[in-house]
Amino acid sequence: MYEITKDPKSGVYLLPPVGRIQGISLIPDEDPHKAVVELQYTDQNSEWYETVMPLLDALYLLNLLEAMSREQGFDELRRPPKSNA
């Protein structure tokens, strides 16, 4: 099991590295400011992890990723990776 550590240079807590994104779940709320997204992923050892973020932050992350994809020429890669299984 991965032990969450704090980067001594930045002071940021480091989550386990992602091996594969497994899925997301939306926990809706009538107030979109209270809705949350759960992101599930596995690490390189197939251990499962989950992080939770407000819906509005998840949408902001989506905007950042889409801009990066366009600006860096990665749009053709925007498909889920093929399973190794």
Chunk the chain into consecutive blocks of 10 residues (it has 85) and report each block's average pLDDT, rounded to whole numbers. 88 94 97 97 95 97 94 82 66
pLDDT of residue 80: 66
pLDDT of residue 85: 60
pLDDT of residue 81: 66
One-letter amino acid for residue 29 of the chain:
D
The token pair that represents 36 in the structure block:
């949350």
In this structure, how many other beta carbons lie within 10 angstroms of the beta carbon of residue 20? 13
Residues in the chain: 85
pLDDT of residue 75: 82
pLDDT of residue 84: 66
pLDDT of residue 78: 74
pLDDT of residue 4: 85
In this structure, how many other beta carbons lie within 10 angstroms of the beta carbon of residue 17? 10
Q: Is 70 in a helix, a strand, or coil?
A: helix
Calpha distance 27→44 (Å, rounded): 27
Calpha distance 31→67 (Å, rounded): 27
Q: Is 43 in a helix, a strand, or coil?
A: coil
Q: What is the pTM of this model?
A: 0.78
